[in-house]
Amino acid sequence: MIAFSKTFFILTLLLGVLTGTFALPEASAARDQSGFDYRYISGRKYYRAYDIARYYRMKLRKIGKYYEMQGNRGRLVFNPNKRYGSYNYIVLNYDFIPIVQNGELYISSADFFNHVQVLLNPLSLRPAGVRTILIDPGHGGKDQGAAGLRYLEKNLTLQVARRLQNHLRKMGYRVYMTRVNDRKLELSDRAKAANNIKADMFISIHMNAAANRSVRGVETFALTPCGSPSSGANKVQYTRYPGDTAVNNSLSLAWNVQNAIIRTVRAADRGVKRARFVVLRETRCPSILVECGFISNRAEENQLGSPAYQEKLAQSIAIGIYQYHRNLRKKN
Ligand SMILES: [Zn+2]
């Protein structure tokens, strides 16, 4: 019986191969763990945008100068030879430029894993629970941060952080603050605090400033992935950081918070960005840094100082956190 089964099995296998039922791996197909064909462009690995779109059952089309990938999972925009794009109308900064070759759009494999997959598929995120949140009001004490005409950054960050704490507590989270009064704190100590209390999330609150006083708007930072350049920079870096383990969750959190802020307070969208700030790279949990607006812009400074606007900002950050959390729970 055994001998017969074996022979039968081998025959079936042979028949399968001959009739093409069992596909043997093609030597010519350059495919990696993503399952997509790849090619190297300027020394970097790229996938065909069409293959990615088909995988997610999305439609890829060219509209004027940009490309849109749209389906049930949302809408991604790519601009050939530009780092900026968007997801569901919120500005994103890709790691590397998308490239058009022979009329076809190619997306770097880094961006597939660091942006496309993270945003389109919640299953790619770590299903960590969210119970304890550490809020970090930027600057403090001698370190006053940026100075506007009427307000100091260190005071505004604390005011927004306190309001955020109230909202998150009402939502049932256990919330801590790196500082509750006007005192100086080292960046590394802020990150250490998150690791010491085993926080599930770290939210750093800052106000922005620029020499050009017309610049305004909100931007949210997540850690730059290993092997990619930060936003606005080109240098690729391979140093490993504790924050690497949560880097995808951090990007998802950053998108959700930026999205909630832009939709609620209607500030200018400066996008989800990447940086290797100490508080992002040294924290082991999902971490973001929110630049709530420009203290160097007269109109925005006045808004940032108003209790009503601070309340709206804090509420929208809390909503973004909740939406990120809900998205994680969809997994189960
Ligand atoms: Zn700051």
In tens, the pLDDT along 266-285 reads: 899 999 999 999 999 999 99
pLDDT, residue 155, reads 98
| Strand, coil or helix: 23 | coil
Task: Judge whether 238 and 227 are in contact, CB under 8 Å.
Answer: yes
Reading phi first (left if > 0) and then psi (alpha if -120 to 50, else beta), residue 155 is in alpha
Q: Would the pLDDT of 4 be above 70?
A: no
Separation of CA 298 and ligand 1 centre (Å): 17
Separation of CA 103 and ligand 1 centre (Å): 43
Q: Of 20-24, 71-75, 189-193, 256-260, where does mean pLDDT reach its minimum?
A: 20-24
DSSP state of 116: I
The pTM assigned to this predicted structure is 0.90
pLDDT classification of 29: cutoffs 50, 70, 90 = low
Better-scored residue on pLDDT, 23 or 263 = 263
pLDDT, residue 12, reads 47
End-to-end CA distance of the chain: 45
175: Cα within 13 Å, side-chain hemisphere: 21
| Strand, coil or helix: 147 | strand
Segment 134-164, tens digit of pLDDT: 999 999 999 999 999 999 999 999 999 999 9
Separation of CA 63 and ligand 1 centre (Å): 38
Task: Judge whether 87 and 74 are in contact, CB under 8 Å.
Answer: yes
DSSP state of 79: -
Task: Judge whether 148 and 296 are in contact, CB under 8 Å.
Answer: yes
Segment 199-238, tens digit of pLDDT: 999 999 999 999 999 999 999 999 999 999 999 999 999 9
Please state, rounded to an integer, the average pLDDT across all residues of the chain. 92
Delimit the domains of the chain by residue range: 38-120, 132-329
Q: Which CATH class is domain 38-120?
A: alpha beta
Q: Strand ranges (DSSP E) for the chain?
A: 38-41, 44-48, 59-63, 66-71, 74-78, 84-87, 90-93, 99-101, 104-108, 132-137, 174-177, 201-208, 218-223, 269-275, 287-294
Separation of CA 152 and ligand 1 centre (Å): 10
pLDDT classification of 331: cutoffs 50, 70, 90 = low
- The CA distance from 286 to 94, in Å, is 19
Q: Would the pLDDT of 262 be above 60?
A: yes
Separation of CA 139 and ligand 1 centre (Å): 6
pLDDT classification of 298: cutoffs 50, 70, 90 = very high
- Name the phi and psi angles at 184, rounded to 5: -80, 140
Fold held by 132-329: Aminopeptidase (3.40.630)
Q: Two tokens at 173?
A: 């989270």
pLDDT, residue 33, reads 83
DSSP H or E stretch at residue 318: helix 307-329
pLDDT, residue 128, reads 80
Query: In this prediction, what percent of the chain has a pLDDT beyond 70?
Result: 91
pLDDT, residue 20, reads 41
Reading phi first (left if > 0) and then psi (alpha if -120 to 50, else beta), residue 156 is in alpha
Q: Would the pLDDT of 44 be above 80?
A: yes
Please compute the mean of the pLDDT values over residues 304-316 and round it to a whole number: 98
Task: Judge whether 273 and 91 are in contact, CB under 8 Å.
Answer: no
Residue 66: Cβ within 10 Å count:
16
Separation of CA 323 and ligand 1 centre (Å): 25
pLDDT classification of 326: cutoffs 50, 70, 90 = very high
Residue 21: Cβ within 10 Å count:
10
Catalytic center residues: 291
Q: Two tokens at 321?
A: 């956190």
Separation of CA 327 and ligand 1 centre (Å): 29
User: 149, 167, 147: which is closest to 157 by C-alpha?
Assistant: 147
- Name the phi and psi angles at 138, rounded to 5: -60, 150
pLDDT classification of 105: cutoffs 50, 70, 90 = very high
- The CA distance from 124 to 113, in Å, is 9
pLDDT, residue 261, reads 98
Please compute the mean of the pLDDT values over residues 252-261 and round it to a whole number: 98
Separation of CA 231 and ligand 1 centre (Å): 17
Q: Of 51-55, 58-62, 314-318, 325-329, where does mean pLDDT reach its minimum?
A: 325-329
